[in-house]
Amino acid sequence: MHDNRSRDVWVRRLFEKAVLGFACVELQPIGWRVRGGAHIDWQMSAASDGIAEILPGMITDIIMDDLGAGRRLVIDTKFTSVLGSSRFGGASLKSQYLYQMYTYLRSQEGLDSLWDQASGLFLHPAVDVRIRESVTIQGHAIAFATVDLAQGARTVRAELCDILSGTDWGGALERAN
């Protein structure tokens, strides 16, 4: 690795792949369908000839479907702090993350019932920090969570299972569905 940027990209991808692998091992056997790096398309009603070449694509980190319960969860892993600074000096969730997930969820509405009720999760690694915040916006639950990697393996496993299954979101998932 040549520089800090390369290392940061490598570590971010490692965390993403670790969460994907965890979901495959722990949640697929109990009925979840897990996909990594899924492309989702813009729902265009009209387009100019050259737009396809310049329109940014959307690639999710992980999409998980619980077909038995009719639930879809779009997961975006981040290897940054979950909180940033607000323009008024306090802590704030990062607005660009919220816009990103909002776009993923709302742009796919009307495709099927899983997308119509899909939820989003931003998952951040942390040390000695626990955040579980969620909101439902226009019928879609969006959660921000940290997993404390300084804990023991069993605790990290249990925490990830609770976060990924939506049982540790402060109630937003239940209110959305």
pLDDT digits (tens, 9 = 90+) for 88-100: 767 777 788 889 9
Name every residue whose Cβ is closer than 8 Å to that of residue 40 and which is 6 or more positions away in sequence. Answer: 58, 59, 60, 104, 107, 108
CA 73/CA 119 separation, integer angstroms:
5
Q: What is the pLDDT of residue 9?
A: 86
Per-residue pLDDT, 6: 83
Cα–Cα distance, 80 to 154 (Å, whole number):
24
Residue 157 dihedral angles phi and psi, to the nearest 5°: -60, -50
- What is the rounded CA–CA span in Å between residue 5 and residue 15? 15
- Over residues 146-150, the mean pLDDT reads 92
Question: Which ranges constitute the DSSP H helices of the chain?
Answer: 4-26, 51-54, 95-107, 113-116, 153-165, 172-176
Give the pLDDT confidence score for residue 56 in this predicted structure. Answer: 92
Pair 132, 154: CB distance under 8 Å: no
What amino acid occupies position 95?
A: S
Torsion of CA 148, 149, 153, 155, to 10 degrees: 0
Domain boundaries, the chain: 4-176
d(CA 108, CA 60): 12
Task: Determine what percent of the chain is predicted with pLDDT higher than 70.
Answer: 88
Alpha helices per DSSP H over 27-123? 51-54, 95-107, 113-116
**CATH numeric code, 4-176:** 3.40.1350
Amino acid symbol at 50: G
